[in-house]
Amino acid sequence: MKHFVVVAILVIASTFAVHTGLDRLGLLPVQASSQAVAVDHLFALQIWLISSLFSLIVVTLLYSLVVFHRKKGEVGDGAYFVGNSKLEVLWTLVPLFAVLYLAYLGAQSLGETRQIDPSAMQIKVIAGQWYWQFQYPDYNIASTELYLPVDRQVDFQMTSKDVIHSFWVPEFRIKQDILPGQTTELRITPTLIGNYKVLCAELCGASHAYMEGAVYVVSQQDFDAWVAKQQSSVSVDPVLRGEQLVKQYGCGACHSIDGIQKTGPTWKGLYESEVLLADGSKVTADQIYLTESIVNPNAKIAAGFPANVMPSFADVLDQTAVNSIVAYIESLK
């Protein structure tokens, strides 16, 4: 009995020591959403369980090695045990109830994170290789940067243009896969003003690691000011509007305007030039060709460049926006 008491005391002491060490490591980023509270509660419980299980196994093992090792001069065998039914029942029932309890807590936290606020602001998220676009239907604006007002729930309606992506802001904790051809939902209530990053948490291709987007949680006043600025910055000049759209959608990551070849053809001098295609034919880069290349990029592949890299913007840009981008490309003589 003495050994059980000593081991129990050592296990408890070790549990608190291990938990303290793990807690001081700062394993989780800052908590920046109301949904993160329920998730962090589960993390905290699991860290306690990890600490206790680690201590139970390691302390018992080390104690046994030190106390019950064969002493000098001992040559006989140790005591032989056939089994212990009570112990076997105990280590079956305890994990069973622990798993059931964790399942209950998981379902409870899932319900908390999916609660709907009737006044939630809707934002449509478009994910593609390899970019993020955020549309604000209530304000008729779109951006590649995500601005969120603090303490207001956001209802994300998300879809993918190509492959499976996953929307994840670590400080918000929860994440959601984004599927092509389907709309998935995610509800977040930011609670901490600051700058964050949205990451893709699903391997989605060659540039997956660089699929990041800026996230700004701001006051309602600053959010209203940003919306007003976005609405007023929409230029009526198609060339200037096209330049704004190109920057907004990150087209410069694949297409240069100075003649340097990137993942895609350069736009400098492209308009009305003769383009050699992958099938050996040639086509003039007129308005029809440029428009088709935006809405159906795999229809005609330029020689020397891979297919299936550029996503279609047919469902992202309306015809006016496409015409503005074409006008901008025309201006790059």
Task: Average the pLDDT over each of 69-83, 215-229, 309-323 and give the range with the smallest value.
Answer: 69-83
What whole-number percentage of the chain has pLDDT above 70? Answer: 99
Per-residue pLDDT band for 236 (boundaries 50, 70, 90) equals: low
Task: Fill in the amino acid letter for 175.
Answer: K
Contact 313, 294 (CB under 8 A): yes
CA atoms within 13 A on the CB side of 262: 15
pLDDT at 203 > cutoff 90? yes
Tell me the average pLDDT of the chain. 88
What whole-number percentage of the chain has pLDDT above 90? Answer: 36
Q: Report phi then psi at 197, rounded to 5.
A: -135, 140
Give dist(CA 145, CA 246) in Å, integer: 14
Task: Average the pLDDT over each of 25-34, 83-92, 109-118, 222-231 and give the range with the smallest value.
Answer: 109-118
Rg value, the chain, Cα: 29
Domain ranges of the chain: 2-62+86-113, 121-232, 238-331
| N-term to C-term CA, the chain | 90
pLDDT reported for residue 249 = 76
* DSSP three-state, residue 278: coil
Kindly report, residue by residue over 109-168, the tens digit of the pLDDT: 888 878 888 888 999 998 988 888 888 988 888 888 899 999 999 999 999 888 999 999
Q: Which residues contact 124 (CB under 8 A, 6 or more apart)?
A: 134, 135, 136, 137, 156, 157, 158, 159
Contact 301, 294 (CB under 8 A): no
pLDDT reported for residue 91 = 85
Cβ neighbours of 187 (radius 10 Å): 19
Kindly report, residue by residue over 256-267, the tens digit of the pLDDT: 888 888 888 899
CATH number, span 121-232: 2.60.40.420
pLDDT reported for residue 4 = 83
Kindly report, residue by residue over 264-318, the tens digit of the pLDDT: 889 998 889 998 888 889 999 899 989 998 989 888 888 888 888 887 888 778 8
pLDDT at 71 > cutoff 90? no
CB-neighbour burial class of residue 7 (10 A; exposed 0-12, middle 13-18, buried 19+): middle
Task: Average the pLDDT over each of 46-50, 194-198, 259-263 and give the range with the smallest value.
Answer: 259-263
Does a cis peptide bond (omega within 30 degrees of 0) precede residue 168?
no
pLDDT average, residue stretch 26-41: 90
Spatial CA neighbour of 199 closest among 178, 177, 173, 170 = 170
73: left (phi over 0), alpha (psi -120 to 50) or beta: left
Kindly report, residue by residue over 53-69, the tens digit of the pLDDT: 999 999 999 998 888 88
CATH architecture designation of domain 238-331? Orthogonal Bundle (1.10)
pLDDT reported for residue 234 = 59
Cβ neighbours of 87 (radius 10 Å): 9
pLDDT reported for residue 233 = 65
pLDDT average, residue stretch 163-182: 92
Per-residue pLDDT band for 235 (boundaries 50, 70, 90) equals: low
